[in-house]
Chains A and B, each alone.
Chain A
Amino acid sequence: MNKELSGTTVDVDAEGYLTDPGQWTKEVAVELAKEEGIELNDRHWKVIDFIRKDGAENGTAPNVRRITKIGGVPTKELYELFPGGPAKKAAKVSGYGKPHGCL
């Protein structure tokens, strides 16, 4: 299914995650964050910029360990920034799908 976010049409899954990270823009990020009740500030953008850069290099969004170890953002801070599930919320706002298992 697709939906309109700040004037851009994007493809999303049932839970509102972008299915094509290529459709992401900064404006889309602001809207996705609002859906999660998050107002983006500079600290959020540091995380998002890292996820976008790392995701583009590796074809998939980095996990929490990678965000903390390579992106340099402590886990505690990730929780403050994306309350209630930083791994999936940060991925969502950055235009990636949620982390999943094989089943």
Chain B
Amino acid sequence: MNKVLILGAGTAGTMMANHLRRELSPEECEITILDRDNQHLYQPGLLFLPFGKYRKEDIVKKRDKFIPNGVEFRLAEVDRIDAGNNAVILDGGETLRYDLLVIATGSRIVPSECEGLEGEGWHRNIFDFYTLEGSAALGQFLSTWKGGRLVVHIKEMPIKCPVAPLEFAFLADSFFKERGMRNRVDITYVTPLSGAFTKPVASEMLGHMLSDRQITVVPDFDVERVDAAEQKVISYDGREVPYDLLVPIPTHMGDLIIARSGLGDELDFVPTDPETLQSKAHPNIFVIGDATNIQASKAGSVAHFESEVLTRNVLHQLNGEALEPIFDGHSNCFIESGGGKGMLIDFNSETEPLPGQFPIPGVGPLPLLRESRLNHWGKLAFRWVYWHLLLKGRPLPFITTTLSLKGKIIPDLKENQT
């Protein structure tokens, strides 16, 4: 009998446990999934927590509730993967053998990668919103803040849900307006990229969103250090951005076990074939979700599309068949723009976000790359979809695994914007 072991029971691992149990009978394959704790966090909710929109109870549930019958769920800390011997060694020394391993250990923020970030200012006037602790503490801080200079700062790519920092800036703008204190807050968005939007169509269609909201963008900013005493962020080329409240998006890295097992790149992400999701180093190791080094966004929706491809390829691998190189980097995401509105984007590694209707061409009901109330409701509904469809590996109505160009419009851009 085959043994499949899944490391990590977050978004991607949980989906794989559900898919694989449906496809493989307990007689033909033993499936085990392992995580270090039993608290499944709905991470997109972390964006709303600081603004008092969700409570902790809304976004944390027990992991094992989402693991199907017939899959063994184990709580354990992994010490390392011994790929040469097809085994995973747990803290404490127990060895689990596998025929096929799925790595779904996600990514984590590593504030210590930025000098000065974790010093005296950390969780005093510097808060991340990528962890439950950071996001909750930021909420506490904002509830009594009198205003000043808010700086949202991205250290380096890749980060989870690359639009989340922008959404945070939009939601902050709308939060301060609702509280009647927008005139007492400066919002600055500091990015290592060439702007808040980097793709031609999005830049042209959405560029005004920041100026409309009086959000200042500081582009091409490679941070050298944070000076917590002087309250400023300093770049390698000597530019300084002062803050009263700093919301950093720190460096993201893969889990420490990846480094300990010698399986990672310079950020401890696992080199993975972008089309089959097989690890480049070991044919019986597959990688899904934030743990891969592929260019696709680190997002739950990407993990969902990947899970459909990976399920087929795991079956092929177990049957000794050729893998299907079909993953296209498909990603689909709602973007909160504040004031009860939102946007929706649908794209892959080849095709940038385009305007149009989604998911049904000509009908929608959701407009792409444009603000609407319906997209905001879509984002809120995503929480339900996440717990009830996504984690269970159910298909999403009307949404295809790979990108569809139907319903999308390729606009004529102005001369200087092609």
Residues on A facing B (Cβ under 8 Å): 1, 13-14, 59-60, 63-66, 69-70, 75-76, 79, 83-88, 98-103
Stretch at the interface among B99-107, B199-207, B377-385: B199-207
Contact A101 B198 (CB under 8 A): yes
Chain A residues whose C-beta falls within 8 Å of the C-beta of B156 in the assembled complex: 63-65
Q: Is B197 an interface residue (CB 8 A)?
A: yes
CB distance from A10 to the nearest CB of B (A): 15
Query: Can you name 23 A-B pairs with beta carbons within 8 Å?
Result: A1-B418, A13-B418, A14-B418, A64-B222, A66-B266, A75-B222, A75-B236, A83-B237, A88-B194, A98-B198, A99-B194, A99-B198, A100-B193, A101-B157, A102-B162, A102-B163, A102-B331, A102-B345, A102-B347, A103-B162, A103-B166, A103-B199, A103-B202
Of chain B, the residue at the smallest CB distance from A88 is B194
- Determine the distance from Cα of A88 to Cα of B297 in the docked complex, in whole angstroms: 20
B contact residues, range: 20 to 34
Contact A14 B416 (CB under 8 A): yes
Contact A60 B295 (CB under 8 A): yes
Contact B220 A84 (CB under 8 A): yes
Q: Which among A1, A14, A76, A102 is the interface contact of B236 at CB below 8 angstroms?
A: A76
Chain A residues whose C-beta falls within 8 Å of the C-beta of B266 in the assembled complex: 65-66, 69-70
- Determine the distance from Cα of A67 to Cα of B224 in the docked complex, in whole angstroms: 16
Q: Given known contacts A69-B266, A88-B194, is B202 in contact with A99 (CB within 8 Å)?
A: no
Of chain B, the residue at the smallest CB distance from A76 is B236
Q: Please give 13 more A-B residue pairs, beta carbons under 8 A apart, in addition to A79-B236, A88-B220.
A: A1-B418, A14-B200, A65-B267, A76-B236, A79-B222, A99-B198, A101-B199, A102-B163, A102-B199, A102-B331, A103-B163, A103-B199, A103-B206
Chain B residues whose C-beta falls within 8 Å of the C-beta of A98 in the assembled complex: 194, 198
Q: Which chain B residues in 309-335 approach chain A with CB under 8 Å?
A: 331, 333, 335
Q: Is the interface of B mostly helix, strand, loop or mixed?
A: loop
- Determine the distance from Cα of A84 to Cα of B239 in the docked complex, in whole angstroms: 11
Contact A100 B199 (CB under 8 A): yes
CB distance from A63 to the nearest CB of B (A): 7
Contact B198 A86 (CB under 8 A): no
Q: Is B192 an interface residue (CB 8 A)?
A: yes
Contact A100 B220 (CB under 8 A): no
Contact B297 A99 (CB under 8 A): no
Q: Is B13 an interface residue (CB 8 A)?
A: no
Q: Is B417 an interface residue (CB 8 A)?
A: yes
- Determine the distance from Cα of A75 to Cα of B267 in the docked complex, in whole angstroms: 16
Chain B residues whose C-beta falls within 8 Å of the C-beta of A75 in the assembled complex: 222, 224, 236
Q: Which among B162, B222, B267, B274 is the interface contact of A101 at CB below 8 angstroms?
A: B162
CB distance from A82 to the nearest CB of B (A): 10
Of chain B, the residue at the smallest CB distance from A60 is B295
Of chain B, the residue at the smallest CB distance from A79 is B236
Chain A residues whose C-beta falls within 8 Å of the C-beta of B224 in the assembled complex: 75
